[in-house]
Amino acid sequence: MQLLLSTWAEAEAYLKTSKGIIMPIGSTEQHGPNGLIGTDAICAEVVARGVGDATGAMVGPTIPVGMAVHHMDFAGSMTLKPSTLIALLRDYVMSLAEHGFERFFFVNGHGGNVASVRAAFYEIYAENRALRGRQAPELRCTLVNWWENQEIGRLSRELFGAKEGSHATPSEVSLTQYAYPESIKTAAMDPETASPGGFYDARDFRRRHPDGRIGSAPGLASPEHGKRLFDTAVEAISRQYGAFMAEA
């Protein structure tokens, strides 16, 4: 069930059987020569909806813009400040908690979100307790990165080996190609596999990684690979959601 495609009565009925909700969160940022700017939001949304279908869980609206200040030297990228993202997540969760949701399972598509999202969880816990003390509902929030589990790791190594890299990866590009085959992009890449390495600010990122890739060969992406990655991610993360909901 998607919250956006439900009525209030359907949401109310759902809460009689479950207090859990899946929240996709991504980013709107450059993803190399053939990667869609919405890659991180698309991946989070597609996987979250797959998990929702597999588990019967409600899926909330995708948060499409994240903390991506380091990508801002590439046209089309958007960012929230960490403090803005924390405030946004606080409002999202506290709004849903007012209706009775208590378990918030965030499916993340962007590594740059992790620190802010985890900080937001503790802001939420602190405010919840400050407002209602020991009578406050026991809210629980957790974050899973769709690509960060053993099953996806094994599959990406099988498909791409050392050419996976860390940004604009063939795995995430493949997943978007599976989700939106009508929007597949092609581009020449020289070298095939970009150089690895870190960076400081946005200008330094563009200087070190001029086409936006980091250690990756996204030209290896395909919608067929994307389907395998989707199926694998949904199966693994559905188990994680089940375990989260089963906790005492």
Residues forming beta bridges with residue 21, ordered by sequence position: 58, 104
What does the pLDDT average to over 216-244?
A: 98
DSSP per-residue codes, 215-236? S--GGG--HHHHHHHHHHHHHH
pLDDT by residue (tens digit) across 77-123? Answer: 999 999 999 999 999 999 999 999 999 999 999 999 999 999 999 99
The rounded percent of the chain whose pLDDT value lies above 90 is 96
**Model pLDDT, residue 131:** 82
Task: Return the pLDDT at 132.
Answer: 78
pLDDT in tens, 141-174: 999 999 999 999 999 999 999 999 999 999 999 9
pLDDT tens for residues 194-225?
999 999 999 999 999 999 999 999 999 999 99
CB atoms within 10 A of CB 23: 26
Contact 155, 229 (CB under 8 A): yes
In whole angstroms, give the CA distance from residue 68 to residue 168.
Answer: 14
Q: Look at residue 136 and tell me whether its pLDDT is greater than 90.
A: no
Helix, strand or coil for residue 223? Answer: helix
Residue 8 has what pLDDT? Answer: 98
Taking residue 245's Cβ as centre, other Cβ atoms within 10 Å add up to 15
**Cα–Cα distance between 181 and 204 in angstroms, integer?**
33
Which residues, other chains included, contact 239 with Cβ-Cβ below 8 Å and sequence gap of 6+? none
